[in-house]
Amino acid sequence: MRNFRLLALAAGLCLFGATPVWAQTGTVTIVKNATPKDAQDFTFTVSGPSGVAGGAQLDDDAGAPGGNNNLSNAKTFALAPGIYTFKEDALPAGWNLLGLSCTPAVDVSVDMGNRTVKVKVTKESKITCTFSNRKEATGKGAITIRKSLVPANDPGRFTLQITPGGGGASIAGAVNVGNGGILGAVTVNAGNYIVGEIGGTAPPTSLSNYTTVITGAGCGPTGAVTVTPGASITCLITNTRKGDVAPGKVTVRKIIVPANDPGRFTLQLTPNGGNLLANYLNAGNTAVMGPVTAPPGNYTVSEAGGTNPSTNLGDYTAVYSGGCSPTGAIVVVSGSNITCTITNTRKTSACAYTLNADVNIYNPMMPFGPQTVHICRGGKVTFHNVNSGAPWSIQYISGPASFPPVPLATSPSSGVTAVLGGPGTYVYKINGVAGAPGFVLNGNIIVH
């Protein structure tokens, strides 16, 4: 009697539309898609609300050498409502996961990096998720990327890159490459790759300012490359600047420390790899070369020692500032206006002369002519009345800065000039006293 009642109850439930517990499930189907078809097996783990819900071992070997009917390429799971995770376990050597998608994609979360899909299952669910794997070819090949710019002296810089064909981080790169630059040859596993580039940073370069063409045997117009074992592929990326290219202007200024230093310098502007574009001979303090009109490109601002007077660069420290690098490098772009300043400071150790000098004054009846002495900056000159029976006076005539008269008493006596700090030529005269009319001789003090 009890069994009869149970059967009747079950029949009543079905009669009035109630769904039995065993029918309250949704389905998730896992499909394996392998390229190429291969007998390799792939393992999946399924976890759900109450832990591990099971797993599967699938292959996609239809028509492949060694293929058999032992495993299917798909398995359907009937699951009670809840959230389930389907994970493709560690991939066999030489295989990659190229794609992971589910249909419909509602209540589905895909994680390609971890080969995982998370599915919310309801009793109405009928979801199919496909894991697509590719077997990489064995062996190695090489990829080389070359850079060409039009015009050749265009200042743009580009970072060349090689990335896997299925996406991912760059596997090789060359940063801030200009015309004639190269990346490679880079040894890679046989397979599919993308050669490409991004704008460089020194100077900042936008790809939108150029038309880009990729050429070369084995190189697709979008940079797609297929490397077979032993292959060596070279791709040329040519960037042509768009629109009209206007010249720029370059100005070079000279500063000398101290300002009255007698040194002279020849300022120069030269395109990298080319001939001198402009120069300024024997430039002194505050001299300016330019503005010089220069086509876009890379240039070097430099200087040489002048000839009037002869100037040795080794006697100075030079600092490049403004629009040029510490080595004088500049980049002229369309319409740019660059000012570079070269500051030369004389080295105190560069002076080959003494800090102190002596000038001997003899009897005016003895002809001795004008006298010249050399001292280093900051030095002094001492005048000696050697054998005259009368006093004398040393007086400033001309020079960078005056010094007070130097009286010389009757010999033997001496006087000392003020310290001569500024470089240049100081002219003085030796004046006789009454009784020696007309005795006036000039001398020179050259401060270096």
DSSP labels, 190-228: SEEEEEEEEE-BTTB--GGGEEEEEESTTB-TT-EEEEP
**Residue 342: predicted pLDDT:** 97
Q: How confident is the model at residue 370 (pLDDT cuts 50, 70, 90)?
A: low
CA dist 267 and 277 (Å) reads 11
Question: How buried is residue 81: exposed, middle or buried, by Cβ count under 10 Å (0-12/13-18/19+)?
Answer: middle
pLDDT in tens, 105-145: 889 999 988 999 999 999 999 999 999 998 876 788 999 99
**Residue 244: predicted pLDDT:** 66
* Interstrand relation of 51-60 and 38-48 (parallel, antiparallel or unpaired): antiparallel
Q: How confident is the model at residue 6 (pLDDT cuts 50, 70, 90)?
A: very low
Q: What are phi and psi of 208, to 5 degrees?
A: -65, -15
- The rounded percent of the chain whose pLDDT value lies above 90 is 38
**Residue 282: predicted pLDDT:** 94
Residue 10: is its pLDDT beyond 60?
A: no
CA dist 74 and 128 (Å) reads 10
CA dist 26 and 102 (Å) reads 15
**Residue 9: predicted pLDDT:** 40
**Residue 4: predicted pLDDT:** 40
pLDDT in tens, 286-307: 999 999 999 887 889 999 999 8
Rounded to an integer, the average pLDDT of 173-178 is 92
Domains, the chain, with CATH or none: 2-135 (2.60.40.10), 140-241 (2.60.40), 248-349 (2.60.40), 354-447 (2.60.40.420)
**Residue 257: predicted pLDDT:** 92
More confident: 7 or 105: 105
pLDDT in tens, 268-286: 999 887 889 999 999 999 9
pLDDT in tens, 419-448: 776 778 888 887 764 444 445 667 888 887
Mean pLDDT of the chain: 83
Q: How confident is the model at residue 359 (pLDDT cuts 50, 70, 90)?
A: confident
Q: How confident is the model at residue 3 (pLDDT cuts 50, 70, 90)?
A: very low
| Assigned token pair, 257 | 């420390």
Contact status, residue 179 vs residue 157, Cβ threshold 8 Å: no
CA dist 324 and 308 (Å) reads 27
Query: What is the identity of the amino acid at 240?
Result: T
Q: How many CB atoms lie within 10 A of CB 355?
A: 13
Rounded to an integer, the average pLDDT of 98-103 is 92
- The rounded percent of the chain whose pLDDT value lies above 70 is 85
pLDDT in tens, 148-159: 998 888 888 999
More confident: 297 or 329: 329
Rounded to an integer, the average pLDDT of 359-382 is 71
Rounded to an integer, the average pLDDT of 346-353 is 71
Q: How confident is the model at residue 213 (pLDDT cuts 50, 70, 90)?
A: confident
* Residue keyed to tokens 């790899």: 273
CA dist 304 and 419 (Å) reads 31
